[in-house]
């Protein structure tokens, strides 16, 4: 009888040994927690397709921010749900817009919390697209007009920085948006505010619950002329390369789970921090299965987030952040 010389199981024998050789350690510092803020008062409405995620009015947001800090999560990503939409999304760059108000409030309650602002127009436009709509003179076909949209995105980013945002996260996928926003921020005196670029954002079916949450479903067409084709990965390198050249400080891949190969490619090709966005449907599928008793939510979430980090994510934007941070503390 011959015996194996190599026994991989030696290092798996006890919990202590497994802890010693673990390659990837998830911590609460890896997480960015998204918050949806809206007008009015007394609002804490659960988003039906995202159990455990809420719309908050500013008066009820403070308790949530305190919970974030108590859980040891040090960054939030703010999304606004405005009460007014128009063709140019002007409530996105209004000094008194909901996002600007929320940034000021969060920074007043928790100055040490890193506040990341999502910079896009789709929640604020009546047509639900991420830029201005232009109708072709001949065919009448509607298209999202790249360059004029950049001006509005720059105004949005500057107003968010003015309100106190620590990081600007443009998610609109117009060409040249990082360069335009970098330039605009620098000119306005915000040269130390970093840009976390949604570099590689796919035209994904995994954003469905978010669009319910943010009321940002396009009213006609889809986002395939500006977001990326899920079939492409070399194109992801071209997108990311542009952002690096244009001055991005962090590169994001979104969604995460179906695109971990792309995340890994970015990690290998660039030296900037890479961010994974664990998007809304990835969250909702876990919640639905867990509520049916089909999976162990805690184990599945921690395994998923560990997988993202192992694949190369330096940071993870996730709706599970509060739960995961508490679980990691043994609560
Ligand atoms: C706005 C934006 C979207 C998401 C983040 N920022 C939606 C979209 O592009 O349609 C999706 C986030 C999620 O699904 O969790 N452009």
pTM score above 0.80:
yes
Nearest CA owner, ligand 1 atom 5: 171
Distance, in Å, from the CA atom of 310 to the CA atom of 312, rounded to the nearest integer, reads 5
State which ligand 1 atom lies nearest to the alpha carbon of 280: 15
Pocket of ligand 1 contains residue 280 by CB under 6 Å = yes
pLDDT at 189: 98
pLDDT at 215: 85
CA–centroid distance, 211 to ligand 1, in Å, is 7
State which ligand 1 atom lies nearest to the alpha carbon of 123: 1
Pocket of ligand 1 contains residue 282 by CB under 6 Å = no
* Digitized pLDDT (tens) for each residue of the chain, 331 residues in all: 788 999 999 999 999 999 999 999 999 999 999 999 999 999 999 999 999 999 999 999 999 999 999 999 999 999 999 999 989 999 999 999 999 999 999 999 999 999 999 999 999 999 988 888 898 888 888 888 889 999 999 999 999 999 999 999 999 999 999 999 999 999 999 999 999 999 999 999 999 999 888 888 888 888 998 999 999 999 999 999 999 999 999 999 999 999 999 999 999 999 999 999 999 999 999 999 999 999 999 999 999 999 999 999 999 999 999 999 999 999 8
- The H helix count followed by the E strand count for the chain is 11, 12
pLDDT at 221: 86
Pocket perturbation via mutation, ligand 1, pick of 85, 120, 226 by most ligand atoms within 8 A of CB: 120
**Domains of the chain, start order:** 25-328 (3.20.20.70)
pLDDT at 214: 84
Pocket of ligand 1 contains residue 77 by CB under 6 Å = no
CA–centroid distance, 210 to ligand 1, in Å, is 6
Distance, in Å, from the CA atom of 100 to the CA atom of 241, rounded to the nearest integer, reads 30
Strand duo 75-81 + 114-119: pairing:
parallel
Pocket of ligand 1 contains residue 185 by CB under 6 Å = no
State which ligand 1 atom lies nearest to the alpha carbon of 201: 9
Q: Which residues are catalytic?
A: 201, 254
Direct distance between the N- and C-terminal alpha carbons of the chain, in angstroms, rounded to an integer: 48
Distance, in Å, from the CA atom of 216 to the CA atom of 92, rounded to the nearest integer, reads 13
Could you give the ipTM of this predicted complex?
Answer: 0.94
State which ligand 1 atom lies nearest to the alpha carbon of 283: 15
Pocket of ligand 1 contains residue 33 by CB under 6 Å = no
pLDDT at 213: 84
Pocket of ligand 1 contains residue 118 by CB under 6 Å = yes
Q: Count CA atoms closer than 13 A to 318's CA, side-chain side.
A: 31
Which residue in the block uniquely carries the two structure tokens 């800090």? 69
237-244's contacts with Cβ under 8 Å and 24+ in sequence apart are 237/265, 237/266, 237/269, 239/199, 239/200, 240/199, 240/200, 240/266, 240/269, 240/270, 242/175, 242/176, 242/178, 243/178, 243/197, 243/199, 244/270, 244/272
Strand duo 274-278 + 250-254: pairing:
parallel
- Closest C-alpha among 321, 263, 226, 237 to residue 32: 321
**172 with 121: CB under 8 angstroms?**
yes
Tokens of 298: 């805690």
């Amino acid at each position: 009888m011959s015996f194996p010389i190599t026994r991989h199981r030696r290092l798996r024998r006890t919990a202590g040994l497994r802890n010693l050789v673990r390659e990837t350690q998830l911590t609460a510092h890896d997480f960015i927690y998204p918050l949806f803020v809206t007008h009015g008062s007394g609002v804490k409405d659960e988003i039906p397709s995202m159990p455990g995620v809420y719309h908050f009015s500013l008066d009820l947001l403070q308790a949530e921010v305190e919970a974030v800090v108590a859980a040891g999560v040090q960054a939030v990503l703010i999304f606004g749900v405005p009460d007014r939409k128009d063709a140019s999304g002007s409530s996105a760059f209004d000094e008194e817009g909901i996002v600007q108000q929320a940034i000021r409030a969060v920074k007043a309650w928790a100055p040490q919390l890193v506040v990341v602002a999502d910079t896009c127009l789709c929640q604020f436009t009546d047509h639900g697209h991420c830029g201005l709509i232009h109708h072709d003179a001949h065919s009448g076909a509607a298209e999202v007009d790249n360059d004029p949209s950049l001006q509005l995105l720059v105004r949005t980013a500057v107003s968010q920085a003015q309100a106190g945002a620590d990081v600007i996260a443009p998610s609109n996928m117009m060409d040249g948006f990082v360069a335009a926003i970098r330039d605009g921020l620098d000119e306005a005196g915000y040269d130390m505010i970093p840009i976390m670029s949604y570099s590689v954002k796919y035209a994904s079916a995994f954003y469905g619950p978010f669009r319910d949450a943010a009321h940002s479903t396009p009213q006609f067409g889809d986002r395939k002329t500006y977001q990326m084709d899920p079939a492409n990965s070399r194109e992801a390198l071209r997108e990311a390369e542009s952002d690096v050249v244009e001055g991005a400080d962090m590169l994001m891949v979104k969604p995460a789970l179906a695109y971990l190969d792309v995340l890994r490619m970015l990690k290998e090709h660039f030296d900037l921090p890479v961010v994974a966005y664990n998007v809304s449907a990835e969250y909702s599928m876990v919640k639905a299965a867990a509520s049916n008793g089909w999976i162990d939510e805690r184990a599945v979430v921690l395994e998923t987030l560990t997988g993202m980090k192992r694949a190369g994510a330096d940071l993870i934007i996730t709706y599970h952040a509060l739960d995961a941070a508490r679980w990691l503390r043994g609560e």
